[in-house]
Structure 1
């Protein structure tokens, strides 16, 4: 197990929760290259992941770019007066596994000419696509899979978040020709202990070996 990229079909679907679960399960380092929206509450996903994964601070790597404006990174950077250098977004070298989390969906622009899917294609690390189970997930998931495959991004599988929808999950896996890794259920209490237990009960750690 080396580096795994976690991306999503949309924003606000639970991608960060899954990234935290995977970080904890692998005892991995965690890195989110671009964080936007810090002006909303002053904290970013790194802090949330550290808490939910129960990870020590030395395994939470600093963002390459921290942007205040809560919108797509390409626009947030423009508003904040920041120029994003794609060379600064090369995955860091660490000892042991590394979980990298993208921002929003796979085609969210990092700059005016580059999406996160384009970055993933440059990196060539295996990607886990996170999808919600709510209405609309079939189309969003299949479109995301197509966008990744069009760029020859190695797709490790799809992880679902939410209440069980067996037919939708099976349809996506079959039509997208992608491995269904598992599903994180909604948790009444979300902390490092409950998240670790939910991941262990619903995913097989060996599936995350590239």
Structure 2
């Protein structure tokens, strides 16, 4: 669909070119400025000699109304970009919040599991510890349990470190969220 500010059927190239110059001037539009822009650099041009043609084209091709339509459409497009931008920002913040919750939850769950597992290893190792304190000789089964417990404890420490890192990432993201939200609010006040 042709818009009113596009070239109209029967509109000459010169008239449309002059209109586009007028249209792009924005709120400071004037036929005098269009004349100056088009003809002002020509040698021997006397100011106002082409103003009659510009006035006729403006009247004949409804420049003022077409510019109003163009301005309205541009304002609408600007508003739509703003709305889209706000939606994208909000989606980004939601995604960041979800990631933050996941990292924090997984990290805390890993730490909790690690603590319970270490307690279980401590419970398993208690009889061995008591045997060592009583200067008893350890059985091969007790030595195997001790060795396996050491490996399990080492693996749990790696898991605990990973869980702590994830929980910390969740907390860092929480701090980042505060910065992002304040930036969004500051920018929305500017608009």
TM-score (norm 1): 0.16
Higher strand content, 1 or 2:
1
TM-score (norm 2): 0.17
Higher helix content, 1 or 2:
2
